[in-house]
Structures are given as structure tokens and as C-alpha cells.
Structure 1
Amino acid sequence: MKQVKGYTILQKQELKELNATGYLLEHDKTKAKVAAIETTDDNKVFSIGFRTPPKDSTGVAHIVEHTVLCGSKEFPVKDPFIELAKGSLNTFLNAMTYPDKTVYPVASCNDKDFQNLMHVYMDAVFYPNIYNEEKIFKQEGWHYHLDSVDGPLTYNGVVFNEMKGVFSSPEQLIERKIQQSLYPDTGYGFESGGDPVDIPDLTYQDYLDFHSKYYHPSNSYIYLYGDMDLEEKLTWMDEKYLSHFDYLKVDSEIKQQKAFAEPAEVEAFYSLAEGESDTDKSYISYNAVTGNSLDRDLYIAFQVLNYVLIQGVGAPVKQALVDAGIGSEIISFFEESICQPFFSIIAKNTEVSKKEEFVKIIRGELEKLVKEGINKDSLNAGLNALEFRYREADFGSYPKGLMYGLQMFDSWLYDSEKPFIHISANDTFKRLREKMEEGYFESLIQTYLLDNTHRSVVTAAPKMGLTAEQDRAEAEKCQRYFDTLSREEKENLVRETEELTRYQEEPTPKEDLEKIPLLSREDIGKKALPFSNMEKDVKGTKVLHHDYFTNGIYYIDLYFDIKPLLSEYAPYISLLTSLIGCVDTDVHDKLAFSNEILQNAGDFTFDTLLSRKYKQPKEYKAFMIFRTKVFEEKTEKVFELLDEALKTSHLDDEKRLKEIVSENASALYMRLISAGHSTAVNRALSYGSQMGKYDEAMNGISYYRFLKQLNDNFDEYKDNTIAILKMLMQEIFTKDKMMAGITCAKDAYEGFEKAFVNFVEKIPEKLEETGNIKPQISFDDRQQNEGFKTAGQVQYVARSGNFVDRGVPYHGSYRVVRAMLSYGFLWNEVRVKGGAYGVMCGFPSSGDGYFVSYRDPKLAETNETYKKVAEYLRSYDAEEREMTKSIIGTISAIDTPLTPRTKGSRSMGAYFSDMKVEDVQRERDEILSTSVENIRRAADMVDAILADGRICVLGNEEKVKENAELFGCIETL
């Protein structure tokens, strides 16, 4: 890139690891900071970010993030974000509020689409409609809701309800309290997302002042990545936006916390649901500030220590805490994305009374490591794992350029001259390996975790009925305000509530909608992506080779048939996946085995997979999968380790089994709560499907109950469980049940087969009958239509049913219906008007349709909205532009760029489901030709789903009890 008019190039840097060139520029007139990465990646990324340190916990940064995407000068529609989600080929579209910054990223592989996304986002942040329409603030932030002058007066708003959901999680609570405990005198001591108690204190004027202060080019960080004409983009940004502003000195300093003279101690409380025991339900954390984020060695070194001390199997500090009976789960994290990073060790499911012992054990183990030295194999394993991930750069469905851009903020935000130091890390890994021999990691422990007084101990204890107490306090606060109002003021509030509802219901004028740039159907690729499944035979074992370039990495999946075992042993199979590789073997103890794995592979995991037949959805296959990713030269070693694990794992180690059961129960409970929408949908789907029942028994509420029963009555069930696990190990891992998938380039396949042959020759052919061991714990405990009480303040409301079973055949247009409802009718009713954070639906080819809300203040009202969907579809009408928009949005979700690994997984999934590329092409053709008539016909499909009457809700205990008539049973999760 040459010099660009309006900018000064400050740095040019070859980013060899990315095969790219980085540029740091400054906009001459406004001093806006710009970083650009020139590369051949066609998945282009743009983002604009601002330093937004909070001054309180009203959530103003978060509310501004929501509201600038609710219309702007050039695009005066009520929700341009949704218009883009519906009608662009974006590969990423979102906005994020962090503790000290707000970032607006977009990505697309289509040049025209990418320009459109940039244009809408730049207009949104600099010229939002928030100054002209207060209702945007009320809808997305908070407002008084009053239907009648007689009351009751309540709060509502999308961010307000979203943060109620966030504050319902004890893990979120302790993480928030940790940050506040370490940085009490800075912006990090506040909740940038907003505390529901404080959000109603935010005034409209303070909110506008926040935007006008921080959303200025002089306080902006602009990022471009990918294969594009950078000079053209920069010139457009200058001429269209940046040059229209003058330089402004913005005080957005991110203040550093002065180190403490003495460590801090903080106590917090979280709510328990009715009927839950409060025994062993507390959290204790040990937290320390670790330098600053501009130290590139520290940045990676503490990620290594995170593995070495806690996260590795058998890691010494974790093991010492577990052995002492302090907590059923020990977790840790290193928060590197703020100015002063910190490291935390947390014991879950413990008692506050164990706080002193918790601290004593941690410090004792750390002192021992400093004195005796850290296990070099563990350090190497941690470094290898990080370096493998760094070199692979596989971020799943997220664009590579997006993840690089977000990581750049970890340094760029705090030193405007250092955007690239953490994404160009080859030298750092090399340096850390040298420093490892000089006691560097031991010195970090001494300096930051032992001698450092800038640390804290934070506890979070359960408090029965706290949610109800908070709800009462909120209602009383509203009532006190209501009592101060005159009748005229109450009538004004009723009128404002009605006006907000009318505003939300009013469609955006057609002429404004047409201002949002839109691609045409001709811009969409017509051909479906093919599969790559080449069948091979290796010593009688079927191998499917997925021919994709992987840059020297083998992605290996071994599939073992488990279908005949599911009816009796589904949860035991899931438990077995957590044990293999995490227990001692005849050759290695668990720590040594874990280190061996990470020194030789980037992945070594077991999981389960259930796959339906595409045209016969009642038929399915079920597998236990072993997954690994490995460089060619290490493949044989990894198969040796797999053979060792399958043949010599100590499954009869009662102590280790109890640890894993306890840890898994704790982790799964938090996952079920935090992803309440998925939990509710999967449970609802299990009511009417055998495959759904088994999937839920291995991953959902049924599996959690199995783990809890085993954990609470371990001595009673341990012998039976161990016997079943040993039997399953013999039953599952035989040659006759195995097939393999390998993703690599054609010319690399031979190296895989050479290593795989040796493994195939060692695996048992087919075992004789091992005998049937009857499980003592049954898992088929579901009743249809369940309400699960939680201590949270929001709901997750799911409805499900199977439309194929009721005679409605699948059609590709249902994917368009899904996109249209998710970003149209359901969005407007459940999120915009109802105040939920999100709402989703799905109508897959299996017929298992569903609707579900996310962080929803309502319950019965949301269920009623689902019932109105079919009526809405029957009367649906739209012009060609609206149909095109929905079709483009649908194809965008399908055409997300895939990594080599996901391409391989997609091909294997098609093989298992007997889906041919012709089937995918037919579905794509049906999507592209979707008409208004197709949309109307989908009403029958929705009727069929709801006809089954299946509902499952996770939510606030009072809300669930208020709606008892919807449920066959109500239980505490």
C-alpha cells in the first residue's frame, strides 16, 4: 500500500505467521487510529471501536451499543442491524461491549456486501438516530411500563432484561466481583454491561452525553483485514465520514489501579431456587493482578501457567485442592483483554468456612513449585498447546480476521503504537522456551502470585430467596415512585407506554427500508458446496478421506458404533468419554499422560454423535468419536497413546472417578443454566423422539441428574458403575465397530494410512459376549411439559413438535421461514415489544421443529406469541425486495466459510445421513425460488409443531409457579 491521501502511514510490518502485511496509520485531520492487514483471505473484516471506560454501573456503554444500531442519518430504519442480518451475505455481524471498549465488527466474502456493511456501521456509530428519537433509548435500555393508572408500574427494556439474565449466574457474579475487588478505583470497578439495580438511574441526557463524548473519530480504532483495495476503502472512509469531523481531545483514559498495600477480601451472595440445598454451594477465589497487557511474554506465559497449575489433567494446584476436599470443581482463567490482566483460581461447590484452607493450600503448592521447579514436560505441553492453536488459526465459524482484530485490542487500546504485538508471536514462543530453562515461570509465580499484594480473595455464598428479595425491592422501588405521581403524571406514563408500543408496531416506511443497500439474487452463488468422501479400506476398516488442504495437519476422527448400547447405558457412555485420557494408565499417571498428549497433538478428545438419516429421520446412527489433530510426524505416537488409553486406563480408580463425576456434574449444571435456551429445546425435543431422548440422556438434564445421583450416592453405585464402564470399554472399542475419517490433502493421505495400519492391527477384532450388567441408575425420568424452577430472574420458553410425523413434508423454503421469523415477527413480538434478549426457531428436515426465547422476562405471553405464528404466515405478504432479503440472509447462514476441519466434518455428516450433493442442491434451489405462497403454506408446518402441545421452560420460580397450568410437572433444576 502506498501513501493514502488524508492519512499518515506510521508503521509497515511483515506479519510472516499470517502471511500478511500490517499497516498502522493515523488519520491526519482527526487522529483516528487505523490498522490494516493486507492478505489474500477473501473473508474480509471491518471493525470500528471506541475506548468507553464506564463511570458507573448504569450500563450506558452497553445501551449505546444496542441503540446506535437502531437507525441513523442515511439509514433511518428502526433496526438496520436486523435488516443486514436478514439481507446480507455477512460472515459476521455484531457489536460487543467490553469493560473498557465498545467494538462494532462486520465481515463478508462478497465485495459489494462488505462495502454495504461498512457503510451502515460507520453511519450508525457517527450519526445515530438516538438524538431524534427517545423511544430507542426506552426500548433498548429501560423504561417505565404502565398499562393503567391503577398500576402496577414496572421496568422493561432489552438491556435491562439481558443483564437480569447475566446477573442470575453465580459464575458471572463471582467473575464480576473479582474484577471489582482488584480495580475498585477505576472503570473496571463498575459493570459496563449495567447492573439491573442501577440501569434505571441512567437518564436520557447522560446517555446522549456519553455517545457525543466517546463516539468521535479522534477516539476511534478502525480495523481492516483481507483481500481488498485498502487505499480505496481508506479514501472512502475519509471522504464520507472522517474528514467531516475536526480533531477533538477526548478524555477516555483507562486508568490503572494503584497496587494494594494489603490483599483485599470481598463477600458476595447469589440466589438459590426453592428446594435447593445450600450445602457445598459456595465459591471461593484467589485472584492476582499480573503486570500489564503490553508485556508480550507475560501475555502468553500466564496462559501457559493456567494450564500448568490448574487446567491440565492432574495439575498440581488443582489436585492439591481436590485432594483436600475443597470444591467439586476447580477452575481458573487468565483475563488478558484488559489493561492490567489478572489470574484467578476458583473453587466451586465448597463452603466459605474453607477459605483460609483454600488460600493456604494454593500458596503452599505455589511455594513448592518455586522451590522444586515446575515439571518441564508440563511447561512444554502448555506451550505446545498454545502454539498449535496459534499456528492452526482455526476459530471455527468465526472469521480469522475478526479474531486477530479483537486480539489486537489487547495491546492497541493501551498503546496506540502497538497493534500487532500479540498476533505476531513466533518470537515470543521461542523466547519462552529459552526462558523456561532459566526459571522464568517460577519467577512469575513468586512475583505475581506469592509476593504480590495486589490480589484478592472473593467468596460467593448462596442465599435462599435472594431473587424474590430482589424482585420485591424492584417492585417496591417502582411503587414508591408510582406513589409520588399525580394522576396526570400517571396518565402521561400510560400514554408513553402506549406510544412506545405503537412505535414498535409501526412498520418502517418503504422508502426508508429501500435506503439499506441490498444485493440481488444474482449475487448469490447457485451451486451447493460438494462433499469430499473417498472410501478406502485399511486392513478391513473403512476409512473416508476428505480431501482438503490442511497445511500439514491431520484431522483424524475414529467412529465407534454405540447404538445397540444406548437403551441401557446412554449416560454411562457419556461418562466414559470424560474418563478416557484423564485417568492413570499402566504406563503413565494422568498428569504425564496429559503432557504426552499435548506435546504430540493439538487435540485428543472423546465425544458422542447421533446422526439421522436424511430421508428417513426416524432412523439414526450413534457413535462414540475419538478426535485428534496432529502434525504428520507425530501421528504414529498419537495412535500409540490412544492404544494405551483404550487398553490400560485405570477405570477402577474410585477416587479419580469420584473427582470426575463431581466435576462434570458441577460444570454441566452451569452449562444447562447459562445456555437455558438450548437446555429447554433439547428437553422438549426429547419428549417425542427416541434419538432426542438418548441425546438428552448423554448431554442434558437427564445426564445431569444421573451424575448428581451417582455423586450423591457414590459408595452405593460405584461398583456397578465401574463394572459397566469396563464392560463398555471392551464392547465399544473393537475393529468391527470402528470406521475412520481423515481430513488432509490427497498427497498427505499416505502418511496417515501408514500410522493407522499399526493401530488397526492392535485393536481387538470382535469380542465375545461380555455379559449384560444391569445399571442401578435409570435415566428415563422425563415427563412431558416440564417447568424447571431456577434462581434466575428470566425465562427460556421452548415449544416443540414434529411436523413430518403429522404428514407435513420438509421443504427448503422452511429455512427462509426460519430466517424471516427470527428476524421479523418473533423478533418484534418477543424481543422488541416483550423485552427478551433473543428468540429463535428451527424447522429441520427431520421435522423436529421448535421455538425458544432467551433471557425472556415473559412466559405465558411468549407462548401465546408462538401460537400466533401460523396465523401470521397464512396472511403473509411481501414484495420482491423483502423476499430477496430473506433469501439472501438464509443463504448467508449456509455459505459461512468453513475451515478444513469443518469441511471434513460436513462431508462425514452427509455420509452418515445418506445425504447426497443432489439433496443439498435441491434444498438450495428451493430456498432460492421461495415465494410468498411457500411462506403461507408453511403455516401448516407450524400448526403441526404446536399440535403436539410440547412445552419446556427454565425460569424464575415464581413465574413458573404462576403458570402451573402449562406444565405436567414443576421441578427445581
Structure 2
Amino acid sequence: MKGVHSNNSTVYYLAVLRAVLPDTVYQYHFGGDPLDIPRLSHEEMKKFYYKFYHPSNARFFTYGDLPLENHLKLIDEMILSKLDHNPQVKMISKVLDQKAWESPKEIVTKCRPDPMAPFPDKQTAASLCYLLCDIDNIYESFVLSIIGKLLTTGQNAPFYESLIRSNLGMDYAAGTEFWDFTKQTFFSVGLQGIHANDCQKVKEIILKTFEKVAEEGFPQERIDALLHSIELSLKHQPGGFGLHLLMAIQGTWNHDGDPIGVLRINDNIERFKKELSENPNFLKEKVRKYFIENTHNLYFIMTASEDYLTEYTAKENALLSEKTDNLTPEEKEKIYQQGIELRDYVDNNMDASCLPCLDVNGDISRKMVTTNLNHSQISSIPVQISPQPTNTVVYFRSFIHLAESDLPKDLKPYWPIFCELITKLGAGSRDHKQMDQEIKMRTGGLVARSHLRENIANLDEYQTGVLFYSHCLERNLEFMLNLWSDIMNHLRYDEDEHLSQIIKMMASEGTENLAHGGHSFAMIRAASTLKSSGAFRETCSGLSHIVFLKKLAEKNDINDLREKLITLGKLVFRKESMKIAINAEPSTIDNSLTHFEHFLNQLPSGGSPGINKPGESIKYPIEKDFKKEHFVFPFNTNFVAKSILTVPYDHPDHAKLRIMAALLTSKYVREEIREKGGAYGAGASINQGGILSYYSYRDPNVVRTVKVFDESLAWINSSDSFNQQSLDEAKLSVFQSVDKPITPGSQGTRQFLDGISDEVFHKYRLRLLDVTLDDVKKVAHQYLGAEVPHRYAVVGPKNDELSEDNGWKVIIDSDSIL
């Protein structure tokens, strides 16, 4: 749990939860507080387990098209029939209600300073939190969730207007939302990146905003837009639908509410519309009841302090002394021997044959699956068409190619920023607020991002550009395309304050992403000098990008930023470099194509390289010396990565390397680094471009982890390290991703974005299925040797073992990353 406590936003989020519900089970850290975990005895842990972890206290969820009877029979035979029903278990685990306070409270706490904060003197967060209704009151929770979204979501939301535009902070505070997983729901709203002296100002703004909303209500067009988004979400089929379904009901279900009632969304919408039509003050009255007249509210403040780490370390040392000072030599020896016993237990391969398992040869098909695709041209623009049962939703993707060689060097750091910004600005006759409102009213959102496509046959070739994505109901297709047309023809850069605020929010989000997923940044950095596409990926989404955002927010030179964005827009928005993909109902394809033809005819023309004429890939100098970099950040744990250059997707060895990576993950890396080393997670993977990466996540070790990475070949050479069952398990884990269901709206994206045809994909699947134990050993010898180009990167706290004398380049000043 020390890794979790490295992230101030997570610390803040968990502290708010405990502070709002202090007399309930939520007062306890659900993952365990690092300062409390060492005090837990083995007997206490066993008692807790037997007290709560019983089938009488379980809920079973199945989703899919397999016969339900078989599931129920198996659950009964394997679980329920083996233990007596004990209703007491459910009663003792029931979460009790928090007694409402008679008056508001305020809590002030401290956190660690963040070296990536653009403004070091503005490292305070503050939120006002309100206890609301019970989660089993399904309709009231539904209404409050709508109010929560209306208050905070989008650039027209009251709190976006009053808090974000106040220029007091960087972004909403962590946990600004309607909380609907606790026994009693609550709402929190606040601001982070503020000066400690501005806390009272923030509170006053929040209270005034509630008063204003209670007096004026919400504009009808914003209510309509939110209801439209709910309607669209019911028709849109996301990946992992079953998991999304479980997450939607589990909060209510776990607290003995009606899970089916949660899914009756249309009933709730109709009731909501009826109450709103009968009582124009319906939402105003709710805001007044739950926020203005609600005495159970907490003002929570967390501010960075230079003393925090010193005080926390002192507590850790005191705890260590408490646990060790009074131990006798005999007791210490006993603990040591228990550690050896545990290690030996983990080392012994447990018999997994008793577990149900798919049969690789019998359950995974070798038949080729084809995608329903048609290819055409509209106004000389390549169009991929996929007729699909989309539930009356139209899905649109467009890729505009801009070769890296056509991108001026001084504009490269701005490229990912431009791609993310373009759907958040005004366009045509609409300012950014009007644009945001129209997007919500007509679509499921407009998304633009930088896209890098690796050549599947050549390590040195890749294609760069911007990817656009959106979906809408069929009746709104013309409106959606008009929005994209306005963006590509008449994007507006004239709202300076808004532009400045977005950059601050992006910088804040980047810092959050580093704390949450530092292993991804370490992998990108380690690969950045192995091949040219890796260098471009580092610029667009690596540590360099986060540091650049921080400096941009500090600089706040909007005029310079505007000029660069305008220049990039002129380079990008040219239809000769475009291709598009459409997924829609077969019966509406012809009508959809008419709208797309009108859309394409409106787009600007120009002379940039066409989609089938990729610009020259840039050859970055590849360093010959193996490189180790340590980026020092004040985290409690480390993110460690090692990247190796191998072969691209269409090479026969790529499939073998992918199976090898899965095998290493499940049988070696995870066991050594997570189970024995104490990291949160670890693994190995290979991307389409041929970069094989090891990683560890929230890892207390570095030197030992790197040693584990480097000894992979020796482990594979050990005759008893793995067997055919291990290989089959690795294949199953790979096919869990390879053969995952593709939703109607996503059919054809592999072909469109990655250039992988059904034929190439089928050939790759067969290669995966046919990998043998000898294949794994052969590719291990060929690509895991010390002579193969590889790099290391570590993101984590200061570590004396990672010194220049040991071959490490230590980067303490984040600005020097650029």
C-alpha cells in the first residue's frame, strides 16, 4: 500500500471517504494503512477471513450466452453444497449508517510536495462534501447522479464556470463527483493546485454556486443534453459490456438494494421527465435540500508540507522499533526461518490441475474469421465501410496523416497538445462553451489524439498523424459531421483564458498519470532510444511530454502557443491526407454515405502528402552503449522497466516472443517480483513494433528487479522451469486478448488503424497456436542475450545503489528530461 500513498490525489480521495463517514466501516483504509498493516497478526487476519469470507455473504454474477443452468449447477456443486448456509454472516457484515451531523465540520491535513507541480506555492486542495441519500433509494440516487453531472461535467457546468475559471487552481480536486458505491451516497466538489491562503475563497465560491443554482436552476438544454447522453449510452455497446454491467449494479447490490432496479434506467428517466414537467422547481428544491440545508457537510483541506516526509519517516521508524526492539534472538531467528519456509512454499509449483481450464487445441478455433468490410472512395478519399448491428448508432473514425518528417522540430512537443486541444476549443460561430453544449446534445463526444502506426513488417518504418473518433444516433449524423467540419475549417484560438486553463488541466492530469502509471512512462522511456518510432512516442506520451506540459503551464505564453497551434492546423487539416471508416446499420449505410460526401466536400484542400504516400521516417541516432536512466521522484516505491529491440508483428518470431512474454509473466517475473519482491505488479509484453518490455509496478526494489529481468534467459534454460501445461496457460492468456469480442462499433479498427488484414491476423493466430517449447527457448536465446540492444528506465525515489559508478544516469531535475 506504500505505492498508493505516493499519489497525493489517492491519499486525498481516501481521506475524504474516511472523513465524511467517520463512524462507519469506511473509517478504515480498505487496502490497509502502511502504518497499521505491520500490527496485524496472523490470527487476526484468519479471524477476519472466516468471519466475512463465506458463501452466505457472496453474490454471484454471470454474463454471456452460455446456458445459465450449467453455471448454477456448478456454483451449487462446487461451493454452496459444501458449506451450510449461515445468515449471521450477512448480518454482521452489514454496513451501518453514518449518523448525520448537526453542524458542518472542517479538517485540515498534510501531504508530500510534488516536484512536478507547475506552481510550487500552489499545492493545496480543498473540497466541500455532503452526505446524501441511501444507495438503495434507487430513484433518488439516480436524480442526485444527474444533479452531480449537471453541476460539474462540461465547460458549461456551474462549478466549471465558478471554480475552474476562477484562476485560483489547476483542476477539480480528486473525487469531485457523486459517490455512489458507499452505503450512503455523497457528493464532493473542490479545487486542487490552489494557494493555501485561498482555501476560504474556494469555499465561498462553492457555497455561492449552490445558492445560484438553487435560485436559477439548470438550463433546459443542459438537462436535455445529459438525457441524450444517457439514451446514447444505452444503445452504445462498449468493450467489456458484462464488466461494465457488474460495476453498475455492485454498489447497490452489495448493500442489499435491488440490482435489477438499477438497470431500469428508462423507467427512471420517464419518472424524472414527468416530475420535472409537473414541478419546474424540482431540481432547485433538490439542490436546496441536499446542499444548502444539509448540515452534514465537511470542508476538507490538504496542503503540501516540507515536514510531511520527515514526519512520516519518523512514524515508520517508530513502528519498526516497536516491532523489532523487544524481539529476542530466538524470536528473530524464528521469523527468519518462517521467511525461508514461505519462500520455499512459493517456489514449489502448486498443482493447478484441479482447476477448470480451457483446452488450447480443442477450445480455440483455427478457422479464419472475416470482418464485414467494404472499401470505396468519396471525393477521392479512401473510405472503409462496415455494415454492423449497431443499434441505430453510427461510428466514425478518421485518420489524417502527417509524416514526422513534415513536422517542424520546434512544433513536435506541441503536436500531442494540439491533437488533444482541438475538440475543446470553439469552432465556426460557436465559442468553446457553445461547442461543448452542441457536442453533448448531438454526440457521445468528439475525440482527437495523436496516432502512431508501426509498420508490421519493417522496424524502421512508421506512420504518424491525428486520429478523430465520434459516435452518434443516426438522426444526429449530419449534426455530428457539421461539428467536425467546423473544427477542421474554422477552429478558434481566440479564447485566451480558456486555452490557458486547459493547459493547466492537462499538466495536472499528466502529473496524476505519472503517479498512477509510472511503469508505462518507464517503458516508453526505455524504448525511446531503441528505434525511431520510440523517440516520437516519448515526445507525444512519455516523460518528456509531461515535463513539457509543466513548463508550458508555468510559462503561460498564450500568444506563442496560439501561433504554434495555428501553424499545426494548417499542416494537418487537408483532406488529401485523410481516410475514414464508418460503422453503421446496413439499412442506413447509403443515407450515411450521402452525409459523409457532403462533409468531405466541405473540407479544406492542400498539398501535404497523401494517405498512401507516407513521408520519410526520421532516423534518430541509436546509442551503442546500453543505457540506464533513473528519474528521481518523491514516490514511496519504484516503476522499473527494461526494453529490448526484437522484430515486428509480421515476423515469424513475433508470435513466439509474445507467448514467451506471457510465459515469463505468469511463471517467472510475477512470482519473483510481486510474490517474493513485494511489488504491486510485474510482467513482460511485446508491442506491434517489436519492443519487448519488462516492467514492475509500485516496486520496493530496483536492483533485485533488474537482476530478475536480466536472468530471464537463465530461467528459461532451466529444464524444470516450465512445461507444456505452462505453455498452454501462456497461450490462453494471450488469446484472452487476441480473441476478445469486438463490438459492432469497433469492427474493422484493426485493419483501419494498424494495417492488419484478416489474412495477416489469421496467420498470426496460427503462429501463436503453433508455438512449441523449443520455439520459446530458441527466441529466448536469440533475443534475450546481453548483446541485443536494450535499455533500462526507473521512475522512483532517490536510491544510492543507482549511481553513475554503477552505470546509471541519475536525473533529479525533471526539467533536464527535455
Q: CA deviation at 1:575?
A: 1.7
Q: Which moved more, 1:439-448 or 1:360-369?
A: 439-448
CA RMSD of aligned residues (A): 2.6
The residue type equivalent to 2:381 in the other structure is T
Name segments (4+ residues, structure 1) moved above 6 Å: 274-277
Counterpart CA distance in 1 for 2:516 and 2:801 is 18
Q: CA deviation at 1:350?
A: 0.9
1:843 aligns to 2:682 (yes or no): no
Counterpart CA distance in 2 for 1:845 and 1:607 is 19
Residue aligning to 1:640: 482
Residue aligning to 2:777: 936
Residue aligning to 2:467: 625
The residue type equivalent to 1:916 in the other structure is S
Query: Could you list the runs of 5+ residues in structure 1 that have no partner in the other structure?
Result: 1-162, 770-778
Counterpart CA distance in 1 for 2:378 and 2:547 is 41
Residue aligning to 2:615: none
Residue aligning to 1:686: 528
Q: CA deviation at 1:213?
A: 1.5
Counterparts in 2 of 1:516 and 1:620: CA distance versus 1, 3 Å: same
The residue type equivalent to 2:600 in the other structure is V
Which residue, 347, 367, 372 being the options, matches 2:191? Answer: 347
Which residue, 826, 839, 861 being the options, matches 2:704? Answer: 861
Q: Is the 8 A contact 1:554 1:742 kept in 2?
A: yes
Counterparts in 2 of 1:829 and 1:232: CA distance versus 1, 3 Å: closer
Counterparts in 2 of 1:401 and 1:700: CA distance versus 1, 3 Å: same
SS at match of 2:301: strand
SS at match of 1:872: helix
Q: CA deviation at 1:861?
A: 0.5
Counterpart CA distance in 2 for 1:907 and 1:498 is 52
Counterparts in 2 of 1:946 and 1:220: CA distance versus 1, 3 Å: farther
Q: How does 1:556-571 map to 2 (within 5 A)?
A: 556-563=396-403, 564-565=406-407, 567-571=409-413
Q: Is the 8 A contact 2:112 2:309 kept in 1?
A: yes
Residue aligning to 2:217: 373
Q: CA deviation at 1:504?
A: 1.9
Residue aligning to 2:356: 517
SS at match of 1:607: strand
Q: CA deviation at 1:383?
A: 2.1
The residue type equivalent to 2:583 in the other structure is T
Q: Note the alpha carbon deviations across 1:687-738, whole angstroms, 9 max, x for none.
A: 22222222222222211222222221123xx322211211222221122122
Q: Note the alpha carbon deviations across 1:478-506, whole angstroms, 9 max, x for none.
A: 23432212222222222222222222222
SS at match of 2:304: strand
SS at match of 1:221: coil
Q: CA deviation at 1:763?
A: 1.0
Q: Is the 8 A contact 2:713 2:784 kept in 1?
A: yes
Q: Note the alpha carbon deviations across 1:22-56, whole angstroms, 9 max, x for none.
A: xxxxxxxxxxxxxxxxxxxxxxxxxxxxxxxxxxx
Counterparts in 2 of 1:561 and 1:760: CA distance versus 1, 3 Å: same
Q: Is the 8 A contact 1:226 1:401 kept in 2?
A: yes
1:950 aligns to 2:788 (yes or no): no
SS at match of 1:272: coil
Q: How does 1:27-66 map to 2 (within 5 A)?
A: none
Residue aligning to 2:445: 603
Q: CA deviation at 1:650?
A: 2.4
SS at match of 2:367: coil
Counterpart CA distance in 1 for 2:434 and 2:253 is 38
1:707 aligns to 2:549 (yes or no): yes
Q: Which moved more, 1:551-560 or 1:533-542?
A: 533-542
Counterparts in 2 of 1:585 and 1:845: CA distance versus 1, 3 Å: closer
Counterpart CA distance in 2 for 1:949 and 1:767 is 39
Query: Could you list the runs of 5+ residues in structure 2 that have no partner in the other structure?
Result: 610-619
Q: Is the 8 A contact 1:531 1:907 kept in 2?
A: no
Counterparts in 2 of 1:645 and 1:921: CA distance versus 1, 3 Å: closer
The residue type equivalent to 1:749 in the other structure is I
Residue aligning to 1:189: 27
Counterpart CA distance in 2 for 1:959 and 1:601 is 53
Q: Note the alpha carbon deviations across 1:179-214, whole angstroms, 9 max, x for none.
A: 111111000111111111111121111111112221
Q: CA deviation at 1:910?
A: 3.9
SS at match of 2:184: coil
Q: Is the 8 A contact 1:579 1:651 kept in 2?
A: no
Which residue, 728, 731, 738 being the options, matches 1:894? Answer: 738
Which residue, 884, 903, 918 being the options, matches 2:747? Answer: 903
Q: CA deviation at 1:258?
A: 0.9
Counterparts in 2 of 1:697 and 1:433: CA distance versus 1, 3 Å: farther
Counterparts in 2 of 1:591 and 1:302: CA distance versus 1, 3 Å: farther
Q: How does 1:638-787 map to 2 (within 5 A)?
A: 638-715=480-557, 718-766=558-606, 785-787=628-630
1:220 aligns to 2:63 (yes or no): no
Counterparts in 2 of 1:473 and 1:582: CA distance versus 1, 3 Å: same
The residue type equivalent to 2:601 in the other structure is E
Counterpart CA distance in 1 for 2:748 and 2:651 is 32
Which residue, 171, 186, 191 being the options, matches 2:9? Answer: 171
SS at match of 2:2: helix
Residue aligning to 1:306: 148
Counterpart CA distance in 2 for 1:275 and 1:910 is 34
SS at match of 2:654: coil
TM score, norm. by length of structure 2: 0.91
Counterparts in 2 of 1:761 and 1:916: CA distance versus 1, 3 Å: closer
Counterparts in 2 of 1:711 and 1:241: CA distance versus 1, 3 Å: closer
Which residue, 177, 189, 202 being the options, matches 2:40? Answer: 202
Counterpart CA distance in 2 for 1:300 and 1:959 is 53
SS at match of 2:177: strand
Counterparts in 2 of 1:314 and 1:553: CA distance versus 1, 3 Å: same
SS at match of 1:164: coil
Q: Note the alpha carbon deviations across 1:553-609, whole angstroms, 9 max, x for none.
A: 111012111222264423322222333232334422322221111111112111111
Q: Is the 8 A contact 1:640 1:759 kept in 2?
A: yes
Counterparts in 2 of 1:256 and 1:823: CA distance versus 1, 3 Å: same
Residue aligning to 1:110: none
SS at match of 2:62: strand
Q: Is the 8 A contact 1:181 1:265 kept in 2?
A: no
Q: Is the 8 A contact 1:742 1:904 kept in 2?
A: no
Q: Note the alpha carbon deviations across 1:837-873, whole angstroms, 9 max, x for none.
A: 1112123352211111011110111001111001112
Residue aligning to 1:119: none
Residue aligning to 1:243: 81
Counterpart CA distance in 2 for 1:366 and 1:504 is 56
Which residue, 384, 388, 399 being the options, matches 2:228? Answer: 384
Residue aligning to 2:330: 488
Q: Is the 8 A contact 1:533 1:907 kept in 2?
A: no
Q: Is the 8 A contact 1:273 1:465 kept in 2?
A: no
Which residue, 590, 594, 599 being the options, matches 2:436? Answer: 594
Counterparts in 2 of 1:960 and 1:808: CA distance versus 1, 3 Å: farther
Q: CA deviation at 1:349?
A: 0.9
Q: CA deviation at 1:469?
A: 4.3
Counterpart CA distance in 2 for 1:293 and 1:457 is 23
The residue type equivalent to 2:367 in the other structure is K
SS at match of 1:801: strand
Q: CA deviation at 1:969?
A: 3.1
Q: How does 1:214-363 map to 2 (within 5 A)?
A: 214-248=52-86, 249-250=88-89, 251-272=92-113, 278-331=120-173, 332-363=176-207
Counterpart CA distance in 1 for 2:551 and 2:393 is 41
Residue aligning to 2:806: 965
Q: Note the alpha carbon deviations across 1:934-968, whole angstroms, 9 max, x for none.
A: 11112234425874341111112346766873422
Q: Note the alpha carbon deviations across 1:223-245, whole angstroms, 9 max, x for none.
A: 33333333343344334432343
Counterpart CA distance in 2 for 1:720 and 1:454 is 47
Q: Is the 8 A contact 2:804 2:810 kept in 1?
A: no
Residue aligning to 1:916: 757
SS at match of 1:545: strand
SS at match of 1:358: helix
Counterpart CA distance in 2 for 1:312 and 1:803 is 44
Q: CA deviation at 1:836?
A: 0.9
Counterparts in 2 of 1:728 and 1:845: CA distance versus 1, 3 Å: closer
Counterpart CA distance in 2 for 1:690 and 1:961 is 27
Count of residues in Structure 1 that have an aligned counterpart in Structure 2: 788
TM score, norm. by length of structure 1: 0.77
Counterpart CA distance in 2 for 1:291 and 1:898 is 38
SS at match of 1:709: helix
Q: CA deviation at 1:680?
A: 0.7
The sequence identity of aligned pairs, in percent, is: 24
SS at match of 1:175: helix
